[in-house]
Amino acid sequence: MAKEFLLKNVTLVDGSNTDICISDGRIAAIGSDLSCSGEIIDCTALIALPGLVDLHTHLRQPGGEQSETIATGSAAAVAGGFTAIHAMANTNPVADNVSVVSFVHDTANEVGLLEVRPVGAVTVGLEGLQLADISGMHVSTASVNVFSDDGKCVSDARLMREALAKAAEIGAVIAQHAQEPTLTQDAQMNAGEVAESLGLTGWPNIAEEIIIARDILLADELGARLHICHVSTKGAVEIVRAAKARGSLVTAEVTPHHLLLTEELAETRDALYKVNPPLRTKADVMAVREALADGTIDIIATDHAPHPADKKSGDWAEAAFGMLGLETALSIAQKVLIDDLGLGWFKVAEVLSISPARIGKLANQGQPIAVGNEANLTIVNPNAARQIESLGKSKSTNNPYAGMILPGQVMHTIFRGQFSLKNSEIQNRSEGNQ
Ligand SMILES: [Zn+2]
Total of domains in the chain: 2
pLDDT for the residue numbered 66? 97
**Tens of pLDDT, residues 260-273:** 999 999 999 999 99
Taking residue 147's Cβ as centre, other Cβ atoms within 10 Å add up to 31
Please report whether residue 394 resides in a domain.
no
pLDDT for the residue numbered 33? 85
Please report whether residue 395 resides in a domain.
no
Q: What is the CATH number of the domain that holds 378?
A: 2.30.40.10
Listed in sequence order, the residues at least 6 apart from 70 whose beta carbon sits closer than 8 Å to its beta carbon are 59, 61, 87, 104, 107, 108, 111, 116
Q: Are residues 414 and 340 in the same domain?
A: no
pLDDT for the residue numbered 432? 34
Domain extent, residue 9, equals 4-47+373-389+404-429
Closest CA to 357 of 344, 345, 367, 372: 367
Q: How far apart are the CA of 177 and the centre of ligand 1, in A?
A: 5
Q: Are residues 153 and 237 in the same domain?
A: yes
Q: Which residue ranges in the chain fall short of pLDDT 70?
A: 1-2, 424-434
Q: How far apart are the CA of 127 and the centre of ligand 1, in A?
A: 15
Q: How far apart are the CA of 230 and the centre of ligand 1, in A?
A: 7
Give phi and psi for 336, each to the nearest 5: -75, -50
pLDDT for the residue numbered 426? 41
For the question of whether the overall pTM of this predicted structure is more than 0.85, the answer is yes
The active-site residue out of 106, 150, 303, 315 is: 303
pLDDT for the residue numbered 429? 35
Q: How far apart are the CA of 403 and the centre of ligand 1, in A?
A: 26
Please report whether residue 229 resides in a domain.
yes
Could you give the CA distance from residue 104 to residue 116 in angstroms, rounded to a whole number?
A: 8
Q: How far apart are the CA of 136 and the centre of ligand 1, in A?
A: 24
Q: Are residues 421 and 275 in the same domain?
A: no
Please report whether residue 409 resides in a domain.
yes
Give phi and psi for 426, each to the nearest 5: -80, 140
Please report whether residue 399 resides in a domain.
no
pLDDT for the residue numbered 433? 31
Q: How far apart are the CA of 209 and the centre of ligand 1, in A?
A: 14
pLDDT for the residue numbered 8? 96
pLDDT for the residue numbered 276? 98
Q: Are residues 251 and 335 in the same domain?
A: yes
Q: What is the CATH number of the domain that holds 170?
A: 3.20.20.140
pLDDT for the residue numbered 423? 85
Q: Are residues 41 and 84 in the same domain?
A: no
Q: How far apart are the CA of 286 and the centre of ligand 1, in A?
A: 21
Q: How far apart are the CA of 331 and the centre of ligand 1, in A?
A: 22
Q: How far apart are the CA of 124 and the centre of ligand 1, in A?
A: 17
What is the spatial order of strands in the sheet that 173-176 belongs to?
A: 146-147, 173-176, 226-228, 250-254, 299-300
Q: Are residues 144 and 169 in the same domain?
A: yes
Could you give the CA distance from residue 416 to residue 377 in angstroms, rounded to a whole number?
A: 9
Q: Are residues 12 and 74 in the same domain?
A: no
Q: Are residues 42 and 59 in the same domain?
A: no
Could you give the CA distance from residue 148 to residue 326 in angstroms, rounded to a whole number?
A: 19
pLDDT for the residue numbered 3? 85
Listed in sequence order, the residues at least 6 apart from 213 whose beta carbon sits closer than 8 Å to its beta carbon are 239
Q: Are residues 69 and 38 in the same domain?
A: no
Q: Which ranges constitute the DSSP H helices of 146-272?
A: 157-170, 193-198, 205-222, 234-245, 256-260
CB-proximal residues (5 Å) to ion ligand 1? 150, 177, 229
pLDDT for the residue numbered 434? 32
Q: Active site includes 186?
A: no
Please report whether residue 62 resides in a domain.
yes
Q: Are residues 100 and 128 in the same domain?
A: yes
Q: Are residues 109 and 225 in the same domain?
A: yes
Please report whether residue 365 resides in a domain.
no
Please report whether residue 396 resides in a domain.
no
Q: Are residues 281 and 422 in the same domain?
A: no
